[in-house]
Amino acid sequence: MIYGPRQVGKTTIVNQYLDTTSLPYHSAAADSIPAGDQSWIAQQWEVARLKLKQSGNPEGLLILDEIQKIDNWSEQVKKEWDVDTRNKLALKVVLLGSSRLLIQKGLTESLAGRYEAGYVGHWSYAEMKEAFGLSPEQYVFFGGYPGAIPLIEQETRWKHYVLDALIETSISRDILLLTRVDKPALMRKLFELGCAYSGQILSFNKITGQLQDAGNTTTLAHYLRLLDTAGLLAGIEKYSPDQLRQRASSPKFQVHNTALLSAQQPNSFLEIQLQPDKWGRWVESAIGAHLLNYSLQERFQLYYWRHLNDEVDFVITNGKVVVGLDVKSGRSQRASGMDAFRKQFKPDKVLLIGNEGLPWQEFLSFNPIALF
């Protein structure tokens, strides 16, 4: 199972493998298939079985893309897989999907013990540098969508592409088409507001005044979770050894990809760089997105911490290992909460990113799992 946000290369990875394999295969996508079609998966499976039988090869491949579009997909996959198991048919199956919520639900409920999952996240700075030669500053502003890079010299076109082909498609196809959302306009407004406040801590009660038809905080929290599973906008919880306090905390909004922040505001790349406070917020959002994406790939936990006037931008944990990270780059300096955090929690490590600490450009270049 390969899953992750749209436009990060899931299908490309599989197609590149197919170009090199000698195994017989059948590949199909559920993009235009009605969600209620209960025969599509079985039909594609039969085609793959037929190709395998005709090839004389002992093994074959079946690739099903956008699998989450089909209602009850996991039960159908389980049924066909179990048939092959009984018949000792060596048909390997690769499932691709862009809705993390529905994919994980199906894997947990129906396919336990029958799958290996791989998460493909937004591209890191190291990947964008190697593939396109992006500078750290370009990555901070234009983010990690490889398909949008050819347009960065024409920023207006680039912004329209991100808004229409990436944001709108992710919301309409990966959330609204697949999940019940009673107030879609409210969810869209929450997304816009959350991106505008990326890197900032806001309670749902505080932001309801900026949202028309705001509903209740439970609805907003639910919509934020949906946006998170689509790889768009997350709400990072406050670090606390007490899990109940974590869940009750005000979220720190964090975009999964800084392109989502840049595409929705009027300033250009050059204009943002010339405003230290704004540029510092972009850098912190890039650091947060870097940590968020790697937390999904490497399965460590990501938090923030704040108590009164003391704040630590990010806290990452892996098992019992706790690491505090504070970002200082270009914005007005505030009192560091590192000393207070150290005294209260005795973390294994604390790290200052930027200024006199580790340069943020270098931090974006490595996998944070190395901190553990």
Other Cβ atoms closer than 10 A to 217: 13
End-to-end CA distance of the chain: 27
273: buried, middle or exposed (CB in 10 Å: 19+, 13-18, 0-12)? middle
**Domain shared by 113 and 151, yes or no:** no
Residue-wise pLDDT tens digits, 293-305: 999 999 999 999 9
The pair of three-digit structure tokens given for residue 352, joined into one six-digit string: 């200052």
**Within 13 Å of residue 289, how many CA atoms lie on the same side as its CB?**
32
- Residues 143, 74 within the same domain: no
Alpha-carbon distance of 335 to 255, in angstroms, equals: 25
Do 23 and 55 lie in a common domain?
A: yes
d(CA 206, CA 197) in angstroms, rounded, equals: 12
| Span 246-268, pLDDT tens digits | 566 799 999 999 999 999 999 99
Task: Identify whether residues 113 and 171 lie together within a single domain.
Answer: no
Round the average pLDDT of the chain to a whole number and report it.
90
- CATH number of the domain where residue 16 is located: 3.40.50.300
**162 plus 181 within the same structural domain:** yes
DSSP 151: G
Give phi and psi for 187, each to the nearest 5.
-65, -40
- Count of domains for the chain: 2
Domain end residue (candidates: 92, 119, 146):
119
pLDDT tens per residue, range 4-51: 888 898 999 999 999 999 999 999 999 888 878 889 999 999 999 999
Whether residue 253 contacts residue 238, with contact meaning beta carbons closer than 8 Å, is answered with no
Give yes or no: residues 112 and 129 share one domain. no
> Residue 371 has what DSSP assignment?
G
* Phi and psi angles of residue 107, each rounded to the nearest 5 degrees, phi first: -65, -40
330-355 pLDDT per residue, tens: 554 455 799 999 999 999 999 999 87
Angle (CA) 308 357 246, round 5°: 35
Of 175, 178, 145, the C-alpha closest to 162 is 145
Exposed/middle/buried for 61, CB within 10 Å: 0-12, 13-18, 19+? Answer: buried
Question: Given 91, 119, 147, which residue is the final one in a domain?
Answer: 119
Among 353, 357, 65, 142, smallest CA distance to 150 is for 142
Q: Which residue range(s) make up the domain with 331?
A: 125-371
Q: State which amino acid sits at residue 64.
A: L
Assess whether 96 and 24 both reside in one domain.
yes
Same-domain status, 41 and 134: no
Last residue within a domain, chosen from 119, 138, 173: 119
Regarding whether 182 and 80 lie in a shared domain, the answer is no
The answer on 167 and 226 residing in a single domain is: yes
- Which pLDDT score is estimated for 117? 79
| 179 in the same domain as 55 | no
Residue position matching structure tokens 């996508």: 29
What distance in Å separates the CA atoms of residue 214 and residue 163, rounded to the nearest whole number? 23
**Contact by Cβ (8 Å): 145, 122:** yes
Bridge partners, 352 (sequence order): 326
Beta-strand relationship, 310-318 and 301-307: antiparallel
Q: Are 46 and 105 contained in the same domain?
A: yes
Token code pair at residue 248 = 């009750």
**173-186 pLDDT, tens digit each:** 888 887 889 999 99
**Residue 319, pLDDT above cutoff 80:** yes
Rounded Cα gap, residues 372 and 263, in angstroms: 34
